A = this chain, B = another copy of it.
Amino acid sequence: MPAPAPAASSLAASLEPLRRHLHTTRLLGSIHSCLYVDQNTVMPAAGAAWRGEQLALVARQLHERQSSGEWLELLAAAEAQSGPDAPPPLRRNLQLLRQQTERQVRLDPSLVGRLAQAQAHGYAVWQQAKAHDDFASFAPALRELVALRQEQARQLAEPRSPWETLAQGFEPDISRQRLQQLFDPLRQQLPALLERAAALPPLPAEDWDLAEPLQDQLSQQLLQEWGYDPSRCQRSRSPHPFSCTVGPADFRITTRVVPGLPFSSFLATAHEWGHSLYEQGLPRGDDHYFPWPLGEATSMGVHESQSLFFECRLARGAAFAARWYPRFRQALGRDPWGEAHRFWRALNPMRAGLTRVEADELSYCLHILLRYELELALLEGGMAVEELPEAWNRGMEQLLGLRPPTDRLGCLQDVHWSEGLFGYFPSYALGHLISAQLAEALEQQIGPIEAKVSAGAEAEILAWLAAQVWPLGRSVNGEQLVQQVSGRPLEAGPFLAYLETKLDALAG
């Protein structure tokens, strides 16, 4: 191997202080992740207040590291040393660091601390409020979170609306206008598709359930077939399933078992494993990339596209159902379906329900449209927190034709707002669109997904994603990724076309 060119080598040496600083920042960030994972999987309830203080301390330290004079000097020095002929990855890294730094320095450190504590408090209060179906007990915490996030947007002072400003961290460069272009076709066509789905053969009567150990066993088998390595990833339980990266070789996924919803944990496992595979496939092969922004996920929409791909395109597909039908039959000890097609049908209710995380592909985006509208109303429209339950229920009726009987099944169902995560929800809908458009590209390049799954060749699909999608990291934003991989701009068409085809197949 030839020695590196002297210029590159001296550039690397001069960047070493910056890299070391980022490395420690990443250590701190991953300590925050570990505290978060523990909080959501193991921590006893009475630990919440102290955990809030721990998280706030780490958040303050992170903010300080990312906005200190020492950091600003390191970054400026690196920028000065990296002229226009510097390697493009380095220039992109510095560009992203500059953008992130500008955002950090605009934030008052006390706001950062108050936010972290309000998040931990909000989460603890929300858990209780949901358990007791008591929105009023959660309202003050939510009101504080809205106010703090509005303050955050004000301090960031970007040429964007408050909601757009908060959404940048999840979906770089997103705008309300662009979302309207992408979401309008969904709002127009999904209700009609839902109506069409009502004419599908009826669902098998749901008179079956699976004991937790059997659900675990099936999920474990699924993970093993999809490359799960317990020495790099651990599974736990949490009230809301999630995936989290705690170190460059330390990944966690969680699921929950819901009585009466025997597919829930299995499909959530497929979903969270999609997230985790994506994280594991980001450019983090060696220590070099883990601390740099290029090694981060492109966007939450892209993240979600991967989890949805594994959940919907693979685990809810006909070929997959044919392969797993005998296994579920065997685990259950009887056969409530009678044939693979009816088992597949059971995996795809294609009908409106009250709960987002249990929703199928057809109704999912309608849940998101509702949340997006309500976020806009809370953050930019002057809607009072007290009005949320009724606004939620009204929106559910308009979009999905269902009125939640309780807030627990209504506006208290999701964890996100309890941690002040406004601006996140649209990424889920973008994930459906991106997944569909990437799936089209994948099929054009390596052939039909269903044929691969029939042949038990999901490894080929994983390999394609590992080559085309996962390593892009933050070299692009979500829409640029879609353009690069599929050759055209993101649009709702492929997703809606996929749904139509699937409805036809389910009817047949």
Which residues of A does B touch, CB under 8 Å? 24, 27-28, 30-31, 34-35, 37-38, 41-47, 49-51, 53-54, 57-58, 229-234, 236, 246-252
Nearest B residue to A51, CB-CB: B247
Partner pick for A57 among B24, B38, B252, CB 8 A cutoff: B24
When the two chains form their complex, are residues A44 and B248 in contact, meaning their CB atoms are under 8 A apart? no
Expressed in whole angstroms, the Cα–Cα distance for A278 and B33 within the complex equals: 30
Expressed in whole angstroms, the Cα–Cα distance for A250 and B38 within the complex equals: 12
When the two chains form their complex, are residues B46 and A231 in contact, meaning their CB atoms are under 8 A apart? yes
Expressed in whole angstroms, the Cα–Cα distance for A58 and B35 within the complex equals: 13
When the two chains form their complex, are residues B236 and A47 in contact, meaning their CB atoms are under 8 A apart? no
Partner pick for A45 among B34, B38, B54, B231, CB 8 A cutoff: B231
Nearest B residue to A56, CB-CB: B27
A27: which B residues are within 8 A, CB to CB? 50, 53-54, 57
Expressed in whole angstroms, the Cα–Cα distance for A251 and B47 within the complex equals: 8
Given A35-B34, A38-B37, A38-B38, also A28-B44 (CB < 8 A)? no
How many whole Å from A117's CB to the nearest CB in chain B?
12
A47: which B residues are within 8 A, CB to CB? 232, 246-247, 249-250
Partner pick for A30 among B34, B54, B231, CB 8 A cutoff: B54
For A45, A234, A250, the residue with the greatest tally of chain B CB atoms inside 10 Å of its CB is A250
Given A24-B57, A30-B54, A34-B35; 15 other pairs, CB 8 A cutoff: A27-B50, A27-B53, A31-B31, A31-B35, A37-B42, A38-B246, A41-B42, A42-B42, A42-B236, A43-B246, A44-B250, A46-B229, A46-B250, A47-B232, A49-B247
How many whole Å from A20's CB to the nearest CB in chain B?
12
How many whole Å from A468's CB to the nearest CB in chain B?
25
Partner pick for A232 among B30, B44, B58, B249, CB 8 A cutoff: B44
Given A24-B57, A38-B37, A43-B234, also A250-B31 (CB < 8 A)? no
When the two chains form their complex, are residues B230 and A44 in contact, meaning their CB atoms are under 8 A apart? yes
Expressed in whole angstroms, the Cα–Cα distance for A37 and B38 within the complex equals: 9
How many whole Å from A410's CB to the nearest CB in chain B?
27
A246: which B residues are within 8 A, CB to CB? 38, 43, 47, 50
Nearest B residue to A249, CB-CB: B46
A51: which B residues are within 8 A, CB to CB? 247, 250
